[in-house]
């Protein structure tokens, strides 16, 4: 039994290690092909990435990435692919910004209200996809992508002068949220860390607890593994589909909050887009694990932070994009390779044991004969 | 076993966080060199070779390199960037000792004013956005005036009496192009119908998506529009390509004189004219002012009057209507025509 555990550990460490080594080798190759020195590139990245202001930057950047990854992971655990996190968080942040700009309540009421509205709007947006899947059998992949476009167009329509936005130079944005409703920051030098970090931590903990430690989470994962088995044991698959889409949307609604409540304080034409798609990559990278995804989000932030520095040293700016892609591919492939290897090893062990027993029995039979 | 791994992971993460909270180690500002290194240029999405807006800025810097002997460093924005990315790019340039640091595009409007506060001795410049700091020079252009002239040309040249406008992103800046163009067409020939469409409602990817512009232009051609004006940065290359394939139709370029561009040489016979925005002149002026020790500040407007914007004549396709254009130009300069800078609702 003890030996088996050791094997498992080797496998658990083997997969990320294999992925990391493979990713390093491939990116070195790519940088080499462009005629640059890959080792110097890694040195520059490491040197710049561990500077104190870089650390703060990376953490702040990782917060929305982590939230997006959790939103995507909730779907993944249930075998649903929520590509619509991008649209969900944008429409949620937009509605929350409109509300936040229109009200002037004390912060301790208004901030929770803004968060609540964002979560609800995100949930409604993803819930549409969930309902369409259960009632009409439309794939959530199709509906969530379509809903992304609908969200973008809806925002584009209302984000015009005279509708819900004001004009500021060449930008349109919703009225600013009053200063009393700005989220706190954690004072660190030289730059502060966004207080919305606690949103990410709480969300991560809730994700771990609900999915890993409750009956509901068990049901959800069971449906993800096998729908027929789950429904045979009395789980309503349809209800689980809608619930998990709604949960995914609730979390997706939070993705825009670090930007809205800690950075921009309004939703403008310059509000970041595309975080939902980054979330998919990070959920894959972190294997849907609450800690894994946190590391993935930080890694992403690190790569983006140091990418600018690479450009400074005359490396192509696209190198970072290549690295991110290679890392995700390597992780997905490495885990699959290791999983298959582990499976084969297990089969061999079982086979050997069976063979041993069979041999023993044969011997006994010979002796008695 | 699993519990131990989890515990270890939790401890490591907390430790890493604590480390950051106390901000161990030096910050990148501490170790940066502070020499005068020349011009730091931060491009908008699309990069230097977008045949349009960024390229015009790059031309200004190239000229400064040649004539003033300054050095330069160029950096490019990616799609889906956030404020943090832009702030970092500008900070890196300022920290490394580049002066002036110029952000090309209104996307840098907020970040440049913020970063400028931290580097009071560096001059910053931003194209298409007003200045809000003492050491920031805002370089803005009267795009609607040049677009008005493009509208006059389109109205004179159309045979189907239908012309189109393709905007990259539906924002206040591109709406200036749309408003000027539509007014120019209507004032010249009220019977001509203008169709205005945008590639993206908000996403700045609209300036870097030639495929989307191609599809949009194809749709407009199928609907019988025979002159199409694209104000969409690098995306415009897509529409110009499609338009060049249909006989008897014209494309109107934007920002740079697109007829002259080597990258578009294949399609140049379809480029009627371009609404040129002399970003190069503005950028050169800024670099020169810093070099001379009298850096520009505040918001400077470049309009039709001082040739900050103009309508290109290369190719000779609008020679026959030049007097109409000159007349319109004179009326704008004299203030007889007021060009609206946002479209009628």
Q: Which of A294, A308, A268 is CA-nearest to residue A64?
A: A294
Are B76 and A190 a contacting pair at CB < 8 A?
A: no
What pLDDT, on a 0 to 100 scale, did the predictor assign at position B52?
76
Cβ proximity of A140 and A133 under 8 Å: yes
Provide the pLDDT for residue B28. 65
Among residues A100, A153, A150, A96, which one has the least CA distance to residue A121? A96
Q: Say yes or no for a CB contact (<8 Å) between B26 and A52.
A: yes
In a domain, A35, yes or no: no
Please check whether residue A205 touches B, CB under 8 A: no
Q: Do B26 and A270 touch (CB under 8 A)?
A: no
**A57 has a chain B CB within 8 A of its CB:** yes
Is A271 in CB contact (< 8 Å) with chain B?
Answer: yes
Residues of A with Cβ-Cβ distance to B205 under 8 angstroms = 273
Per-residue confidence (pLDDT) for residue A8, from 0 to 100 = 74
The candidate with the shortest Cα–Cα distance to B281, out of B301, B295, B265, is: B301
Instruction: Indicate whether A338 belongs to any domain.
Output: no
A359: distance to nearest CA of chain B, Å?
A: 34
Q: How many CB atoms lie within 10 A of CB A89?
A: 34
Q: Is the Cβ of A167 closer than 8 Å to some Cβ of chain B?
A: yes
* E strand spans, chain B: 39-42, 72-75, 101-103, 124-127, 136-141, 162-169, 193-200, 227-231, 250-255, 271-277, 298-302, 309-311
A146 and B CB contact within 8 Å = no
The pLDDT, as a whole number, for residue B29 is 60
Task: Quote the radius of gyration of chain B (alpha carbons, Å).
Answer: 23
pLDDT of residue A87: 96
CB atoms A269 and B171 under 8 Å = yes
Which residue among A57, A59, A167 places its CB closest to the CB of B172? A167
Q: What does the block give as tokens for B75?
A: 């950096």
Which residue does chain A place closest to B132, by CA atoms? A169
A59 — contact with chain B (CB < 8 Å)? yes
Domain holding A211, by residue range, is 63-296
**Inter-chain touch B13–A294, beta carbons under 8 Å:** yes
Test the A interface: residue of B82, B86, B87, B199 with most A CBs within 10 Å = B82
Compare A203 and B105 and report the one with higher pLDDT: A203
- Assess if residue A210 is contained within a domain: yes
Nearest by CB to residue B129, choosing from A61, A155, A169, is: A169
Q: What is the largest CA-CA distance in chain B?
A: 85
- Note whether B172 contacts A272, CB cutoff 8 Å: no
Quickly count helices (H) and strands (E) in chain A. Answer: 14, 4
Residue A8: its chain B contacts at CB < 8 A? Answer: 1
Q: How many structural domains does chain A have? A: 1
Q: Which residue of B has its CA nearest to A157?
A: B201
A33/A30 Cα distance (integer angstroms): 5
Residues of chain A with Cβ-Cβ distance to B89 below 8 Å are 308
At residue B153, the pLDDT reads 96
Question: How crowded is residue A70: how many other Cβ atoms within 10 Å of its Cβ?
Answer: 31
What is the per-residue pLDDT for B94? 92
pLDDT at residue B270 above 70? yes
Asked if residues A177 and A265 have their Cβ atoms less than 8 Å apart, the reply is yes
Tell me whether A163 touches chain B (CB under 8 Å).
Answer: no
Given this model, what pLDDT does residue A15 score? 83
Question: Does residue A135 fall inside a structural domain?
Answer: yes
Point out the residue among B79, B88, B203 whose CB comes nearest to the CB of A308.
B88
A35–chain B Cβ distance below 8 A for any pair: no
A311 lies in some domain: no
Q: Among A38-52, B71-85, B111-125, B158-172, which stretch is predicted with the lowest mean pLDDT?
A: B71-85
ipTM over 0.85: no
* Pairwise CB contact (< 8 Å): B201 & A157: yes
The Cα-based distances of A48 to A44, A304, A308, B30, B32 in angstroms read: 6, 11, 10, 12, 11
For chain A positions 69-128, those within 8 Å of chain B (CB to CB) are none
CA dist., res. B181 & res. B165, Å (int): 8
Tell me: pLDDT of B21 over 90.
Answer: no
Domains of chain B from N-terminus onward? 39-141 (3.40.50.2300), 143-276+315-333 (3.40.50.2300)
Peptide bond into B208 cis (omega under 30): no
Give the pLDDT band (50/70/90) at residue B8.
low
Contact A272 B81 (CB under 8 A): yes
Answer whether residue A191 is part of any domain. yes
Full-model pTM: 0.83
Q: Please name the member of A189, A193, A272 whose beta carbon is closest to the beta carbon of B82.
A: A272
3-state helix, strand, coil in chain A (%, to 5): 75, 5, 20
Residue of B nearest to A301 (CA): B85
User: CA A28 to CA A38: how far, in whole Å?
Assistant: 5
pLDDT along chain A (369 residues), means of 10: 64 81 92 90 91 92 97 94 96 96 92 96 96 95 95 92 84 91 88 93 96 92 91 91 96 96 91 93 92 94 90 84 90 88 89 90 77
Q: Do A263 and B83 touch (CB under 8 A)?
A: yes
Please indicate if any CB of chain B lies within 8 Å of the CB of A3: no
A54 touches chain B (CB under 8 A): yes
Task: Calculate what percentage of chain B has a pLDDT beyond 90.
Answer: 60
- Does the CB of A22 have a partner CB in chain B at under 8 Å? no
């Amino acid at each position: 039994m003890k030996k088996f555990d050791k094997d498992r550990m080797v496998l658990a460490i083997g997969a990320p290690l294999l992925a990391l080594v493979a990713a390093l080798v491939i990116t070195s190759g790519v940088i080499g092909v462009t005629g640059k020195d890959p080792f110097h590139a890694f040195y520059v990245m490491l040197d710049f990435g561990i500077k104190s202001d870089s650390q703060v930057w990376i953490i702040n950047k990782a917060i929305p990435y982590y939230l997006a990854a959790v939103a995507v992971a909730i779907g993944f655990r249930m075998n649903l692919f929520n590509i619509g996190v991008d649209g969900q968080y944008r429409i949620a942040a937009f509605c929350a910004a409109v509300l936040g700009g229109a009200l002037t309540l004390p912060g301790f009421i208004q901030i929770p209200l803004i968060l609540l509205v964002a979560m609800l709007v995100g949930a409604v947006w993803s819930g549409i996809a969930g309902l369409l899947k259960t009632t009409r059998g439309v794939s959530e992949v199709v509906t969530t992508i379509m809903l992304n476009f609908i969200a973008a167009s809806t925002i584009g329509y209302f984000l015009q002068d005279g509708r819900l936005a004001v004009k500021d130079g060449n930008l349109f944005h919703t009225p600013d949220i009053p200063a009393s409703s700005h989220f706190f920051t954690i004072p660190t030098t030289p730059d502060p860390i966004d207080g919305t970090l606690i949103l990410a931590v709480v969300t991560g903990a809730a994700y771990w607890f609900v999915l890993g430690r409750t009956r509901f989470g068990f049901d959800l994962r069971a449906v993800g593994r096998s729908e027929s088995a789950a429904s045979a044991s009395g789980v309503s698959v349809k209800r689980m589909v809608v619930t998990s889409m709604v949960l995914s949307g609730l979390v997706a609604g939070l993705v825009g909050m670090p930007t809205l409540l800690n950075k921009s304080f309004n939703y403008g034409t310059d509000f970041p887009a595309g975080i939902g798609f980054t979330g998919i990559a990070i959920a894959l990278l972190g294997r849907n694990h609450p800690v894994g995804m946190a590391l993935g989000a930080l890694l992403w932030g690190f790569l983006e932070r140091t990418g600018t520095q690479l450009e400074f040293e005359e490396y192509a700016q696209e190198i970072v994009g290549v690295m991110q892609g290679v890392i995700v591919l390597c992780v997905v492939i490495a885990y699959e390779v290791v999983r298959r290897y582990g499976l084969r090893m297990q089969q061999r062990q079982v086979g050997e044991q069976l063979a041993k027993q069979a041999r023993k029995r044969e011997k006994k039979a010979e002796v008695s004969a | 076993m699993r519990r131990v791994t989890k515990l270890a992971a939790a401890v490591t993460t907390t430790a890493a966080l604590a480390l950051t909270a106390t901000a161990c180690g030096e910050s990148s500002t501490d170790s940066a060199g502070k020499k005068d290194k020349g011009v730091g240029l931060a491009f908008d999405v699309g990069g230097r070779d977008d045949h349009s807006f960024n390229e015009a800025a790059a031309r200004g810097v190239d000229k400064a390199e040649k004539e003033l002997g300054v050095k330069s460093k160029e950096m490019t924005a990616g799609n889906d960037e956030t404020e943090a990315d832009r702030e970092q790019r500008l900070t890196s340039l300022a920290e490394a000792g580049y002066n002036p640091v110029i952000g090309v595009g209104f996307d840098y409007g907020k970040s440049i004013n913020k970063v400028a506060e931290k580097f009071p001795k560096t001059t910053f410049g931003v194209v298409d956005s007003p200045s809000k700091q003492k050491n920031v020079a805002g370089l803005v252009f009267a795009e609607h005036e040049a677009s008005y002239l493009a509208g006059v040309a389109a109205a004179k040249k159309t045979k189907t009496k239908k012309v189109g406008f393709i905007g990259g992103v539906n924002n206040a800046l591109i709406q200036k192009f749309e408003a000027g163009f539509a007014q120019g067409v209507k004032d010249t020939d009220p019977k001509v119908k203008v169709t205005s469409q945008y590639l993206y409602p908000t996403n700045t990817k609209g300036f870097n998506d030639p495929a989307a512009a191609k599809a949009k232009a194809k749709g407009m051609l199928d609907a019988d529009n025979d002159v199409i004006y694209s104000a969409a940065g690098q995306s415009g290359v897509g529409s110009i390509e499609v338009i060049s394939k249909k006989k008897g139709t014209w494309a109107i370029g934007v920002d740079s004189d697109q007829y002259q561009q080597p990258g578009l040489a294949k399609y140049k016979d379809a480029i009627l004219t371009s609404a040129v925005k002399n970003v190069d002149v503005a950028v050169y002026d800024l670099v020169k002012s810093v070099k001379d020790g009298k850096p520009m500040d505040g918001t400077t407007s470049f309009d039709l009057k001082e040739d900050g914007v103009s309508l290109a004549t290369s190719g000779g396709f609008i020679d026959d209507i030049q007097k109409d254009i000159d007349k319109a130009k004179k009326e704008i300069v004299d203030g007889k025509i007021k060009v609206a800078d946002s479209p009628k609702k």
